[in-house]
């Protein structure tokens, strides 16, 4: 079903060859490119920042979906907007003023998203649904690729209810693969992030192609 979007996370790509990796997954049908920004503070891992986003942006023909696992967020919004982010997702747990943060992202000309950790209930974002284009439901505790999927189908269904007829995507992030995807789609998700399932933990040059995995969903 092409109304379901696939967003490969470059966290599982070859860090020395992002340009080629992005080109390969886009050729295989990726809809968005998911970029996991981690600060070693909000999550226990460090990845990359706005300079990397700027460097890869010319290689992305689709959309750059930037997932900020950082706190604070506000001082960096302008930098990620300038770097060419199409979507900027901030965690509801990242600070006391998520409403202000989402307004600032929109004001910077970027589509805002809000993410929820596994321990955070759906209703935590009920009052910001008018401000966002996307809600990201984490199905792992954020920080690393390749973790096992946590069942958040009840949360996804509750979010669909809260969202109602607003044009808001529900993205699911963590442990999504052809085996776990059907239940999250049935619950109401329409954007699937896939790190290890897309890149197979190494390179898209792997003979078991991402395209075949997606076809199985």
Annotated binding site, which residues? Answer: 9, 34, 36, 67, 143-146, 173-175, 195-196
Q: Which does 147 bind (CB under 5 to 8 A by kind): ligand DX5, Zn ion, none?
A: ligand DX5
Please, which residue, 44 or 127, has the CB nearer to Zn ion? 44
The answer to whether the beta carbons of residues 204 and 31 sit under 8 Å apart is no
Asked whether the beta carbons of 137 and 155 are under 8 A apart, the reply is yes
The yes-or-no answer on residue 206 being catalytic is no
Nearest to ligand DX5 of 11, 159 (CB atom): 11
Instruction: Tell me the C-alpha distance between 70 and 105, whole Å.
Output: 14
Please give the residue whose beta carbon sits closest to Zn ion in the complex.
67
Question: Which amino acids are annotated as binding site for a divalent metal cation, given as ranges?
Answer: 34, 36, 67, 173
CB 39 within 8 A of CB 71: yes
Q: Which stretch binds Zn ion (CB under 5 A): 99-107, 125-133, 147-155, 168-176?
A: 168-176
Which CB sits closer to Zn ion, 103 or 144? 144
**169 is a site residue for Zn ion (CB under 5 A):** no
Of 31, 39, 86, 173, the catalytic one is 173
- Is 65 annotated as catalytic? no
Catalytic residue among 36, 39, 65, 86: 36
Q: How far is residue 73 from each of residues 3, 67, 93, 105, 216, measured CA to CA in Å?
A: 30, 11, 11, 10, 36
Residue 126 near residue 160 (C-beta atoms within 8 A): no
CB of residue 98 to Zn ion, shortest distance in Å: 17
Number of chain residues interacting with Zn ion (CB under 5 A) = 3
Nearer to ligand DX5, 11 or 77 (CB): 11
**In the bound complex, which residue of the shown chain has the CB atom lying closest to ligand DX5?**
195
Task: Note the residues at the interface with Zn ion (CB under 5 A).
Answer: 36, 67, 173
Catalytic residues: 36, 173
């Amino acid at each position: 079903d092409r109304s379901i979007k696939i967003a490969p996370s470059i966290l599982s790509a070859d860090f020395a060859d992002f340009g080629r990796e992005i080109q390969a997954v886009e050729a295989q049908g990726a809809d968005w490119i998911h970029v996991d920004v981690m600060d070693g503070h909000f999550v226990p891992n460090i990845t990359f920042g706005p300079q990397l986003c700027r460097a890869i942006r010319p290689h992305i023909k689709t959309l750059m979906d930037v997932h900020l696992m950082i706190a604070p967020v506000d001082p960096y919004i302008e930098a990620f907007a300038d770097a060419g982010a199409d979507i900027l997702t901030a965690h509801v747990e990242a600070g006391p003023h998520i409403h202000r943060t989402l307004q600032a992202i929109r004001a910077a000309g970027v589509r805002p998203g809000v993410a929820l950790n596994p321990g955070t209930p759906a209703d935590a974002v009920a009052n910001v649904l008018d401000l966002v284009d996307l809600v990201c439901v984490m199905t792992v505790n954020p920080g690393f690729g390749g973790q096992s999927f946590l069942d958040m189908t009840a949360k996804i269904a509750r979010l669909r209810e809260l969202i109602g007829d607003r044009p808001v995507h529900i993205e699911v992030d963590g442990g999504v693969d052809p085996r776990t995807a059907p239940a999250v789609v049935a619950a109401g998700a329409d954007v699937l992030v896939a790190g290890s399932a897309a890149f197979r933990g190494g390179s898209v040059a792997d003979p078991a192609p991402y395209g075949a995995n997606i076809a199985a969903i």
